[in-house]
Amino acid sequence: MTLKNTDFERVGNNVIESELIYSKNMSYWEDVFRRLKKNKSAVTAFWIIIILIFFCIFGPLMNKFSFREMNHLIGSTWNWEVIKLGHYFGTDEFGRDFFTRVWEGGRVSFIIALVVVFFEGIIGAVYGGVAGFCGGKVDLVMMRIVEILFVIPPMIYIILLMIVMGPGIATIIVAMSISRWVPMAMIVRGEVLRIKEYEFVMASQALGAGPVRILFKHLLPNTLGLIIVRLTLDIPRAVFTEAFLSFIGIGVPAPFCSWGSLSNDGYIQLYSDPYLFLIPAILISIVTFSFNIIGDGLRDALDPKLRR
């Protein structure tokens, strides 16, 4: 078959087609979320945390027993007959439903960790941002204060505050919040020192933007990725610190409970009734491991060098 010139159609340069964008235009955070969804381990850890939070919220409502109610089953026990009565995790040494106490304790542990991390993020980010942006003598004085607080081991003044103020959930939150904002301030300050030399900051200053607007509109939002990763990794640290304080007896006071206090109570009966210790200890380990995986996934997703 012989082809002729009339068998072809001249297309030429299609300017309209060349200007079309066939891929979706994504913002920075949409791209971060897309890359995070590809990290299967981080997604799995995220859903594990969601399931645990769900049980901490609704678990105490799934049976008819209160976390402080003592019933006729005095003494710790966990067998099929006890499960049929509604005690899914058995009972503790006082006959209290352990299923309710586990999720009530998880609720307390999560509340303490999230509130502490919230105050850590607010105080540390603002303090470090102001120090890095102002520089000079202001930065010198603020950083010397931070270094003094950083040298003292956090556990020392956490324990001192717990002894002075007395045990309680509010006391734990205050004590842990005071100690945990210092590393965050140092991290944010270093990042602000780097970002404030960028052209967009100098352009904003040239256009007449004030220091407060530059700090909260340009500098701190550009450190948000670093702050989110740090806070995600600090949640399991806060859970573990609260568990440690409760384990050594200066944490959540009775009759309230946390996973740390439940582990402390169960450790005494480790050989006779190991489930009283193993269940809260395993839950603490799962939360710590899951948040660390999520933090690693966020670090990879927020790193612009890993964009594909």
Structure tokens at 34: 């897309």
Token pair, residue 276, equals: 């009283």
Q: Measured between alpha carbons, how far is residue 285 from residues 48, 102, 141, 243, 254 in Å?
A: 12, 14, 40, 11, 23
CB-based contacts of 275: which residues, under 8 Å, 6+ apart? 78, 89, 90, 98, 266
Query: Given pLDDT bands bounded at 50, 70 and 90, which one contains residue 52?
Result: very high
Peptide bond into 255 cis (omega under 30): yes
User: Model confidence over 224-238: pLDDT tens digits?
Assistant: 888 888 888 888 888
Rounded to 5 degrees, φ, ψ at 96 are -85, 145
What is d(CA 203, CA 196) in angstroms, rounded to the nearest whole number? 11
Confidence band for 23, pLDDT divided at 50, 70 and 90: low
Residues 6+ apart with CB under 8 A from 208: none
pLDDT in tens, 243-286: 777 777 777 777 778 888 888 888 888 788 888 888 888 998 89
CA distance 265 to 257: 10
pLDDT at 49: 92
Q: Look over the chain and give the mean of its residue pLDDT values, rounded to a whole number.
A: 81
Coil, strand, or helix at residue 254?
coil
Domain ranges (residues) in the chain: 37-306
CA distance 269 to 266: 5
Is residue 308 predicted with pLDDT exceeding 70?
Answer: no
> Which one has a higher pLDDT value, 29 or 131?
131
Q: Is the pTM of this model over 0.85?
A: no
Indicate the residue type of 305.
Answer: K
Q: Which CATH superfamily is domain 37-306 in?
A: MetI-like (1.10.3720.10)
Residue with tokens 């990794």: 233
CB burial class (10 A; 0-12, 13-18, 19+) of residue 271? exposed
Distance set, CA 143 to CA 1, 131, 146, 185 (Å)? 84, 7, 5, 9
**Angular region, 97: left φ>0, alpha ψ -120 to 50, beta rest:** beta
CA 273 to chain centre: 32
